[in-house]
Chain A
């Protein structure tokens, strides 16, 4: 196989800052110019029959640009016409030659950007069968998660057919022109189902001890190798630590045996993963410190000789650069950071670190996939709209002088997008710092400081596009008279408020903002009035300090504004800290020693407390009427429109920015 054209990074600032990321590596006979890989990521952008769409192609083309000569892997394909292996409604298929034209376009799109085109075979096993009434696995072990289909145990004939299907799909990948291939064995997909003692209870040659349980993998690798030839690099993604102790999963030592057997079977590079979808141990949420799992890469490096690749909370390039330098890792793999910013590694190479749109590890992307919806990103409004011209920022037809009232995420996102299009943009922020609600939110616990990275990014982009900042200045009617803008963008965010209920004067009330900033004096028994993200942050901070915390909120569930793939982390933490919650409830009145909570079923419950923290937000949009009165064009975005999440603020700002 031809080697990739040489990429010269020597004059790039990032190559000096992160020398280990931008040095070549050899996998089998192929030399890759850097240590960067975009990991296969389902995006649900293909049609529901497995054909690749323009949206899917453009999504991948942008990521291929981003890896600056590195490896770019398309999403895993399912390989059986019965669709037992299909885990996502928009998953690409490769079980017939009819898929070849689309796969060829995909390989060409990736190679066209100078990246190494990688193709993944992914039978989703007990996570599969998304379009049918069952999925398959080595044994009939019932599902722990309700969203997955009932498992049907595979017969030996099923196993032989599945291995053959892997080989046939691999052949199509090679025919399509992909230069590298990999087999997915992560998070509970078929390969891992066979390897794990949790899901493989077979007593035949495909079960038993770890060697028996690895036989399906070994046979698959050998059959795939037979059809792709001796030259093409073949990778496998394998679990180094299942984190399934509670249900009798593999030990980390058994996992390393699977690595050795994969290497022996002819694998050229192993991508290290940890955790299963069915594991209760989180691996990729924001509360997991970056670099936490590198010890598994190190273990893998000690166990096998082939190169080791890894993703999983390696967002900051300093971390993989150091790990590669120390010999604990060979390839920096990522998907979510490049969902958030497809050009992330390119910006690293160019030394533009503050222009990287940071992933905040919220997992909205995953939440969407599990709900059969196309990919979207919490912080990247263009994600999955790469092929749609109406989503791109184009030069403005009429240049305007625009005032943005508010330097939070909505205002800043709008500001740089509008400035990029040629408008003259002035951001006025009442406070002496930028960030709006995020400035406060980033003072929350468990990794929330990473949220402020979004403001750093937006600020850098604003500077790059010439946005003027006026900190410590409030937009008033007089200011509008003086400045006479063409347009006013009201991005003034929220204020915290509470309704007047009987006896409210009996207790000191403090706001959630004061709690997160550590300004509030609170007693030992606290009632938090609200159930959304600010309330959760306040509850966690106070409970961490040993306060007895009760949350009272109107919604059916805590954290209505937190996405479903992240809220479980908060619920777990609130539970661990002993925080009590009253859902679908409200404070009816204040008493001498607490409050009366009107809970479900009209039940009135006396709750003792010495402090009430109010955590509900109300929009601040007074300027809208002022501007209208003066005949100034006005638009309201972000929390000023409706208090919501960081994501809504960013998406509001972006959409207004491309339209104004």
Chain B
């Protein structure tokens, strides 16, 4: 990979996380969302690796920061919304993420998915 490509990819990764956090903050301030969500990059699960996985930064974690605590079904629903968004799932995979994690703001409640299992949508694998 060319060095410029590598830097471009890293910038795109951080831009995606920043855009998510900005939209989540606006949504919380406007009163649309009862809980403030925050996305961050984590280690990910090595069992979910694919050919484009980034080393030690392959996890995309969505964490509830404040507001009303989220129930398990709500955590799963957030994950399903992200996974149902074909474009976003493909973008996450191509930018080196392999694990999607959704965590509650209290305790160790959370759910995680292997992004590769949801990539055969929209002709990504054709």
A binds B: no
Q: Hey, which bits of chain B sit against chain A, CB under 8 A?
A: none
